[in-house]
Amino acid sequence: MNYIQTEIDGVWVIEPKVFNDARGYFMESFKEEEFCKNVGSVHFVQDNESKSSFGVLRGLHYQKGEFSQAKLVRVIKGRVLDVAVDLRKSSPTFGRYVSVELSEDNKRQFFIPRGFVHGFLVLSDEAIFTYKVDNAYAPQAEASIRYNDETIGVDWPVAPEQMLLSPKDMNGLPFSEAEYFD
């Protein structure tokens, strides 16, 4: 696998080696020893999967405090724009975001460490999104930041009137009211 450090420390794009032939393809999607050598030791405890249609925006989500989660995300069908926003108050990139297109074709993965807000927007007719997390979901610690917060300024490539958001995501907090990490 090829590990690419993004402009925000701790956030990685991971490109697997894909072996194609007449039958289809084969790839290793996760290899703990290699991951730890390149990114660091992360103990994943849960895998999640979602299916969404074009224009669905899930995010920007995070879990507060001790319930924070690191995530390793990928798309197995379709195409999304995936976004990670730095909520680490002591970071030189605090409040900045990095985005990457993940698709069934490029097979890229995106590693987002603890201390970040995460979200994705579906760019294809349908997308199946899967991710590993290093901490179980804790509903009492869940929080959302507005997808269109001007302080963050994510450049979403779909018009707002074409987006589908849950009520929770439509009513996310402004960045200025978020609970930050140290």
CA gyration radius, the chain: 16
Residue 40 bridge partners (DSSP): none
Q: Cis link prior to 60 (omega < 30° from 0)?
A: yes
Report how far residue 120's alpha carbon sits from residue 81's, in angstroms, rounded to the nearest whole number: 5
Report how far residue 74's alpha carbon sits from residue 93's, in angstroms, rounded to the nearest whole number: 24
Report how far residue 158's alpha carbon sits from residue 28's, in angstroms, rounded to the nearest whole number: 32
Report how far residue 97's alpha carbon sits from residue 180's, in angstroms, rounded to the nearest whole number: 14
Residue 33 phi, psi (nearest 5): -60, -45
Which active-site residues does the annotation give? 61, 131
Report how far residue 150's alpha carbon sits from residue 175's, in angstroms, rounded to the nearest whole number: 8
* Beta carbons within 10 angstroms of residue 178's beta carbon: 23
The DSSP symbol for 164 reads: B
